[in-house]
Chains A and B, each alone.
Chain A
């Protein structure tokens, strides 16, 4: 997936929206290359089980880097329909290919309200630039 075509949350998750066979919208979720650059030396990731309900802004998983455990936040409301369990043992995939092989979960969207709060690529780039300037 091309970063320019994705949506982004303030907490640096990227979202790709597609439609499944039943016509439901499904969000594929990962974290951006900008966030991954800050998360050096990833050692563990904990992802949810298929079937779990998630809410926008609430944690769906956790990741450890440099002895720091951080939450991964769901950008949408819905149900986990697929988990990229290969990541758990191949964390280098995240840095090597964050926007294609490095996805975390797929979420069948139950309520599209949260989508309007996501940023396009240009707006997300501005957020990243602002964060760098603040440092």
Chain B
């Protein structure tokens, strides 16, 4: 990807929150970026183990994943497979479509994931982009995103530990993704970084290292921020009317 000019970027760090709230914030930020033409990066976590479905996934498919049946579920606006959000760090980034980062889907996945790979290297963990070696690309209809492999996913010792998905609107693109830090009891088939490498990386440390790396590699200048009262009210409306509503979550979409 060509070099990106220095861009002012809002940086928001949120404490663990519900699935509906988290997805509502990301949608709000997509709209905010579309209207303002400004970028935003957000780190967040989940108040309890939560299953998020990809936009086109069938709601009924969640019943087949026994370990997460008791977890709350939310449908994302982005594509891909289901994610069990538990012992992970989640990020989202919104950029206007005319920003170099947002123009091509794969650029954005690769650029953000490369910054994570650089951070993991600082911790002595060797990670790579799936598809950048001889592994190639494979298609999969696995229910869980972390059981699938797409070009640009982050793998350690052949195991996927981070992946992202996008929602593209007329004026902006939202990319959000998860870094699996430890195995969750609600998705025991998925090892995290700790189980794969024997090295423990806490969300706070990863956040600190990653934000520095992102700023440097993607030439962003952080502006630490929080949501305004008006934004919080807007997010609450999106959370209750859309992401917290069964008509959104359980709607049959893809086949």
Partner-B contacts on A (CB < 8 A):
11, 38, 41, 43-44, 46, 57, 62, 64-71, 73, 88-89, 131, 134-135
> Does B133 interact with chain A (Cβ within 8 Å)?
no
Q: How far is the CA of A66 from the CA of B139 in the complex (A)?
A: 10
User: Counting chain A CB atoms within 10 Å of each CB, which of B109, B164, B170 scores highest?
Assistant: B170
**Contact bitstring B143-166, A, C-beta under 8 A = 1, else 0:** 000000011000000000001111
**Candidates B100, B109, B166; contact of A69 at CB < 8 Å:** B166
Min C-beta distance of A46 to chain B, whole Å? 6
In the complex, which residues of chain B have a beta carbon less than 8 angstroms from the beta carbon of A71?
168-170
Interface residue total, chain B, C-beta cutoff 8 A: 29
A-B contact count (CB 8 A): 69
A32 to B83, CA, bound (A): 33
CB distance from A57 to the nearest CB of B (A): 8
Residue B55 at the A interface, CB < 8 A?
yes
B105 touching A68 by the CB < 8 A rule?
Answer: yes
B56 touches A67 (CB 8 A): no
CB atoms of B104 and A69 under 8 A apart: no
- B199 part of interface (Cβ distance < 8 Å): no
20 contacts across the A-B interface (CB closer than 8 A): A11-B170, A38-B105, A44-B254, A46-B56, A46-B253, A57-B170, A64-B54, A64-B56, A65-B105, A66-B151, A67-B80, A67-B150, A67-B165, A68-B78, A68-B79, A68-B166, A68-B167, A69-B56, A69-B165, A69-B167
> How far, in whole Å, are A38 and B254 apart by their CA atoms in the complex?
21
Q: B2 interface residue, CB < 8 Å from A? A: yes
CA distance A68 to B168 in the complex (A): 7
